[in-house]
Amino acid sequence: GGRRNIHQKKRKYEMGRPSALCKLGAKRVRPVRCRGGNMKYRGLRVDAGNFAWGSENCTKKVRLLDVVYNSTSNELVRTKTLTKNTVVQIDAQPFKQWYLKKYGVDLAKKGKGAKGKDDKKEEPEEKQSRHVIFKLKAREAKQKMDPALEDQFQSGRLLACIASRPGQSGRCDGYIIEGEELTFYKRKLEKKK
């Protein structure tokens, strides 16, 4: 177990960098020059991103509201750190507007007076041709909405999962959690309370 002499210096390609620990806040991204002159975009703070609604094939840029679950550690939830596969709450408004336009159904009202006739102020809607009305009806007839997702739309916040790596790409993109995955994470959140 004798002492050996060091026979080579440190190499640039062995270098590591400190982790980004991207937080929730006003956008702050720093470019970092990497090997081969490539750039990484170190997201230090991010407050919005592109989120896809898989079953409806619809993607919108939405605000991130809160970090609710991270399988790595609760410390990352407490400090509102954004990493890949973090479960976050996003603003449902852009998706609501899109749904209203495509299906003619207001997700905020569904459940309590779905017709939307209870408010007199909302009577003068934009005029729709007969063709458009029938098209929306046909679409709505084929449409099935997951009750768990519907509840979230009424609260105005959707659970979503981050699929990009904010510390590497400077972007916070992901998808809305649905189906079995949603059931799984809801159970996890219940357990945490």
* DSSP structure string for the chain: -PPPPP-S---GGG--------EESS-EEEEEE-GGG-EEEEEEEE-EEEEEEGGGTEEEEEEEEEEEE-SS-HHHHHTTB--TT-EEEEE-HHHHHHHHHHHS--TTTTTS-TT--S-STT-SPPP--HHHHHHHHHHHHH----HHHHHHHHHTEEEEEE-S-HHHHS---EEE--HHHHHHHHHHHHHH-
Structure tokens at 156: 């105005």
- pLDDT value at residue 125: 63
Structure tokens at 143: 């449409």
Give pTM, 2 decimals: 0.83
Contact of 47 with 155, CB cutoff 8 Å: no
Partner residues linked to 160 by β-bridges: 88, 176
Q: In angstroms, rounded to a whole number, what is the distance separating the alpha carbons of residues 60 and 112?
A: 26
Instruction: Select from 192, 185, 117, 114 the least CA-distant residue to 153.
Output: 114
Structure tokens at 173: 């993109």
Strands 23-24 and 39-46: parallel
Structure tokens at 165: 């790596």
Which of 118-122, 155-159, 170-174 bottoms out in mean pLDDT, i.e. has the lowest? 118-122
Residue range 54-113, pLDDT digits in tens: 988 999 999 999 999 999 999 999 999 999 999 999 999 999 999 888 888 888 876 544
Q: In angstroms, rounded to a whole number, what is the distance separating the alpha carbons of residues 90 and 85?
A: 14
User: Percent of the chain beyond pLDDT 90?
Assistant: 64
- pLDDT value at residue 113: 46
